[in-house]
Chain A
Amino acid sequence: MSREKLAVQQARKAFLTGGSKPLEYRIKQLKNLHRFITERATDITNALRKDLYKSENATQMFEILGLEGEINLAVSNLAEWAAPRPVNKTLLTISDDVYIQPEPLGVVLIIGAWNYPIAVTLQPLVGAIAAGNAAVVKPSEVSSHTAKVMELLPLYLDPEMYKVVTGGVPETQELLKQRFDHIFYTGNSTVGKLVMEAAARHLTPVTLELGGKSPCYIDKNCDIRIACRRITWGKYMNCGQTCIAPDYILCESSIQDKVINEIQKCIQEFYTKDPKSFADYGRIINQRHFKRIMALLEGSTVAIGGDSDESECYIAPTVLRDVASGSKVMQEEIFGPILPIITVNGLNEAIQFINEREKPLALYVFSSSSKVGRVMHYFQLLNGKQTIYIFSQVIKQMISETSSGALLANDCLVHFTISDLPFGGVGNSGTGRYHGKYGFDQLSHLRSCLIKKLNMEGVNQMRYPPHTTEKLRWARVFLLKQVNLARWRQMAQVAMLVALAAFVVKRFLR
């Protein structure tokens, strides 16, 4: 039996003992995961430095912080997430228990990626553990040092319930032959299709966190300086190897020079005049990707940067100008520190450009709001009104005429850190979502439960043969009426308050 098959078998056996059902067990495992991150912090930092030239603080901020937040959120909310969720009843079920019960799925396979190996491999694991599943974790072999550190997980987590399987393509293919109850894959669309195809053979549901070219539209009416700061930060973090990095810029030709100027200033401010010697500027993961990215420069005009050093897998923060839509750099997700600028004649052309292409994982738009709009917005917030007021026509139009996994206006990347926002793609950029409660729900089965009693059999007469018109009439009444108990309760409360008020007023105004 292959190592992979054995791992899955053991995980399934552990799951079937029911050991992961109690919430205390899950919380203990989550806390153990937390200990893994804190006790092995040095190992993790060193591994990420070797794999991606990530600085210690960058590791903390962009890998560990988010993961810790997810663990803490799961631990403090688990009881609520795992509890039965009552739903509105029909008239027919008014005296019954009607609720949705979250349940574990079974054995979850988590295939991680190499760009944020700790975050994208372990954040799904948090959801898997919280939902009460067993798991097989397959860290990416490309970030080999981090994969090695992850082999230490069995020292912290229950080694029977949570397995780590390392290896490359053959090992992953062997894993994908096995039967899982859910497969969570982070990576690219090509492999995503293969994962889903393999999953189909066992009717295994999948979550695919893929990628694509995330467009970034800069409106000419906006604070270009600040926009470029935020874009520069988002683009060159991790040397451009972020699934939600702004892939390319769309803007009108009149502002292209200004954009380039501002980005240049930011690059200097963030990464100094010599990014190569700067601790907080990363490297490309390996030579294969280095060559791939450098080849993308072909045919385009370099406005900033362009220099590289293959021996270090170093590519300078680079901006390309006047890029043609048919050029090499526009044919695939860049996943590197190259930022092409494509000029368009305004928003409509930008929207058309975006819609002609696959739905991206993220879409960025930079545009200022009117002052009046902002004042109105805050006024509404103060009044407790919950309406969303998009006070920029540009942003409004961009939202309504495009689609993407997520949309972020006037900044980059940060939607990833909001645990109450589901994180995922659409179309070619993926299926399913996670973070926070969404991760829990994604890796659970939400089972519909209707608990009736054996009395009141008389009511059921209307459904039994022999069927008559009269019986049908009753059935219609009972099945079509929705009962909103919360609303009834509210109305009863109002009635009581009114009665009390009337009573007091009558007494007081004697």
Chain B
Amino acid sequence: MEKQVVDGLREVFQSGRSRPLQYRKQQLRALHRLITEHQADIEQSLKQDLNRNTYNTSLFELIGIESDIKLAESDLADWAGPRHVKKNLNIASDDVYIKPEPLGVVLIIGPWNYPWATVLQPLIGAIAAGNAAVVKPSELSEHSARLMNELLPLYLDKEMYQVVTGGVPETQELLKQRFDHIFYTGNSTVGKLVMEAAARHLTPVTLELGGKSPCYIDKNCDIAVACRRITWGKFANCGQTCIAPDYILCEPSVQDRIVKEIQKTLQEFYQEDPKSSPDYCRIINTRHFDRVLALMNECTIALGGESDRSQCYIAPTVLKDVLPHFKIMQEEIFGPLLPIVTVNGLSEAINFINTREKPLALYVFSSDKTVIKRMLTETTSGGVTVNDVLMHYTVNTLPFGGVGNSGMGAYHGRHTFDQLSHHRSCLIKSFAMESLNDARYPPLTAARLSKAKFFMQHHLCSCSGVCVWAVIATILAIGLLVGLIVVLIQKTPV
């Protein structure tokens, strides 16, 4: 079945239907209508999957999707148009440019934590770039998957974009097929399997994986504000966010203060009983519930720790004096447990981070610029937010992706378009000036060699629009200034 789907899509893609920009914009608009007309249904599906309320769904999923659709629609002509390139003397009279082209059939495999955003945002890029697509939503967020399966064919061209639902066997079958790009969001273990499968067809991949995103709190900073922001980012979606601050690193002297501030903030956000707060989510299923709960085993609970398996509820929990060898420090938590590991200062924190896999996100809170600078230059991570958490995700001009174990490739905004396009180098020469080419033809004499050298090594500047504008503006301004001075001088001797 999966093979038929992919073959069918490839045939439709090759018919050229998705090449015109008008078609792509039409599909994007349809997608926009889908999320506005069915917002309530989407919110309902997320409530059933994760007990997420409508506000959080908008904040964390729908606004991002909407923003990307709007951007794609307004900028598509610019993105898809030819991109100019600097020339050297050899090719002064030719056309040199890079042309973005569709790749073909893209496979998008989504996770369950933000099932709409992590599937639709890549899909927006796939559509904008002119590809056909197979969307495979996660079976764990089953209500969202079902709704997506129902709605997408009602709004999008179902011959060009198809949804395939199912679990592991269906995904494995899909991965046997040949795609032109595979976009996978999930964990590193499966990421390796996806890349291995892709290798058999030489299919490029984008892997948005995870890891343990460290959060360093310097003793010189406004700890109250820092803790507010961290609490928000950690416990949103019940900790099930790929860029959630996984664990805290701080000096022992500030640990108690941090615990206190987090406690105050939790009170403010979720009141006395988070279980009955409409804003507090649940763990996706009992398997993950058991997994997360087991991570608490060796730890000292500073806050929270309560749970209710029947509801997959785990209270917002802070663990203190956590040691590096504890189980909780061996895997990505992906749950509402916040361990605090104490270190003796910045150097030890940096060392701690660098002896582990490169994380998807890194957070550092400090008022001291030198601390921030050191942390940024001496570590690496997919992305960084300083003095806040999660926020680099919201700026769609920043490429969002991992490095090393946390992934490869990046997306959001224009980056998705670029990631799912082939940037074809184009050089259009004319038949004229063949004599210039003599320098390269055999017999290769020393004279020809020096001629070739000269032409190849000299660059011409590209007259971009900005450069021209700047030059014109400057000339005008100077001209006017000179005119003004002349007028004033003429006026003085009355």
Contacts and interface: CB of A to CB of B under 8 A. Distances in A.
Interface of A: 16, 18, 21, 55, 57-58, 60-61, 65-66, 69, 72, 87-90, 92-93, 98, 100-101, 103, 105-106, 181, 189, 192-193, 196-197, 199-201, 203, 205, 208, 210, 222-223, 226-227, 229-230, 233, 269-271, 278-281, 355, 368-369, 374, 384, 386, 388-390, 395, 399-401, 403-411, 414-415, 417-418, 420-423, 426-428, 430-433, 445-454, 457, 460, 463-469, 471-472, 475-476, 479-480, 482, 486, 490, 493, 497, 500-501, 503-504, 507-508
A105 B404 CA distance: 8
Given A192-B202, A203-B207, A280-B443, A448 B59 contact: no
A452 B424 contact: no
Contacts, number: 316
Interface stretch (B33-41, B288-296, B476-484): B476-484
Nearest to A500: B480
Contacts of A430: 202
A60 B449 contact: yes
A61 B226 contact: no
Interface string B181-216: 000000010011001101110101001010000000
Given A406-B424, A409-B428, A87 B397 contact: yes
10 contacts: A192-B202, A197-B199, A270-B443, A409-B429, A417-B90, A464-B232, A465-B270, A467-B53, A467-B56, A497-B476
Interface of B: 14, 16, 19, 53, 55-56, 58-59, 63-64, 66-67, 70-71, 82, 84-88, 90-91, 95-99, 101, 103-104, 180, 188, 191-192, 195-196, 198-200, 202, 204, 207, 209, 221-222, 225-226, 228-229, 232, 268-271, 277-280, 354, 365, 367, 372, 376-378, 380-388, 391-392, 394-400, 403-405, 407-410, 422-431, 434, 437, 440-446, 448-449, 452-453, 456-457, 463-466, 468-469, 473, 476-477, 480-481, 483-484, 487
A414 B365 contact: no
Contacts of B229: 460
Among B199, B367, B407, find the residue whose CB has the most chain A CB atoms closer than 10 A: B199
A405 B425 contact: yes
A449 B376 contact: yes
Nearest to A89: B395
A460 B477 CA distance: 42
A270 B431 contact: no
Nearest to A266: B441
Given A399-B426, A475-B59, A446 B399 contact: yes
Contact of B279 (A403, A421, A465): A465
Among A405, A407, A468, find the residue whose CB has the most chain B CB atoms closer than 10 A: A407
Given A270-B442, A426-B424, A465-B277, A449 B392 contact: yes
Contact of B483 (A93, A278, A464, A504): A504
B392 A415 contact: no
A92 B67 CA distance: 14
Chain A contact surface mostly: mixed
A411 B427 contact: yes
B199 A410 contact: no
Contacts of A199: 195, 199
A223 B431 contact: yes
Contacts of B456: 65-66, 69, 417
Contacts of B446: 57
Given A57-B449, A280-B444, A414-B90, A479 B399 contact: no
Given A280-B442, A457-B225, A497-B476, A450 B63 contact: no
